[in-house]
Amino acid sequence: MSLWRVERLRLLRTGRWIALAAVFLLLGLGEPIATRYLGELLRGATGSGYIHITVTRPQPSDGMAAYFDNITTLGTLVTVVIAGLAFALRANPPLAALYLTHVPNRVALLLPRLLTVAVAAAAASALGGVAAAYETTLLLGAPPAGATVAGVLVSSLGTVFVVAVTFLVATLLRGQVATIAVALGAVFVAVPFANLVPGVRDVGPDAFTALPQRLQLSPWTGDDTWSTVVVLGLIAACVAAGLYRSSRWEL
């Protein structure tokens, strides 16, 4: 049995794909509903008292923007957890010894696992985006087609970036909890702090993360192209650095 088939079966039989798909799908179906009825809920909560809340009618772009906003937090969280569990190979020493002795080539060992998780995360993100577009169309009207397709593709690439960062962290650390904690810190703390570097705010990974929301209101710009190039470069760098670090592993 090839390692590619082993990794596919691992993803399916452990139920990790269910966690990925469920979170993105629930956000995709739930956020347009929350956006559509939030104003009515707020008006009902105030009753006939002295406080009156005026909420404008939500637009189709609001439903998609709400989905993209939430997957940058909840979607990222579940992606890091699933990727951390998959990549922390040395957390189980006997199993690690079995893998490393039977497959001495680290690229052949880790690449199927990395690509399987990355494809699964990107597919779950795309599934959630399609669900959000469908639900938004039913409740609020059709969102801008071009901006929605671009947003779904960008958000899927964003999940691949998260997987790549987690992969690099997993090659540096040994335990699953440590890998997940440090990867979450890198994504939620280090990435926003990179905005403090001059010239990074508009073309860095944080700008790329916010791109799907912004595309609902404004067109694609040159800075958006540069932020995409930067993220692609960071994905490649994380994967290359992780594979190099894994070649130095010792049991």
148: in domain = yes
Query: pLDDT at residue 179 above 70?
Result: yes
251: in domain = no
144: in domain = yes
14: in domain = yes
- Judge whether 47 and 123 are in contact, CB under 8 Å: no
Paired tokens of 101: 């002795």
143: in domain = yes
Q: What's the burial of 3, exposed, middle or buried (CB within 10 Å: 0-12/13-18/19+)?
A: middle
80: in domain = yes
97: in domain = yes
Mean pLDDT of the chain: 86
Distances (CA, A) of 122 to 89, 94, 114, 224, 244: 22, 31, 12, 20, 24
For the chain, the domain total comes to 1
Q: What is the pLDDT of residue 123?
A: 95
Range of 136's domain? 3-246
- pTM for the structure as a whole: 0.90
Residue 40 pLDDT grade (very low, low, confident, very high; cuts 50, 70, 90): low
What is the Cβ-side half-sphere exposure of residue 115, based on CA atoms within 13 angstroms?
10
Rounded to an integer, the average pLDDT of 19-38 is 87
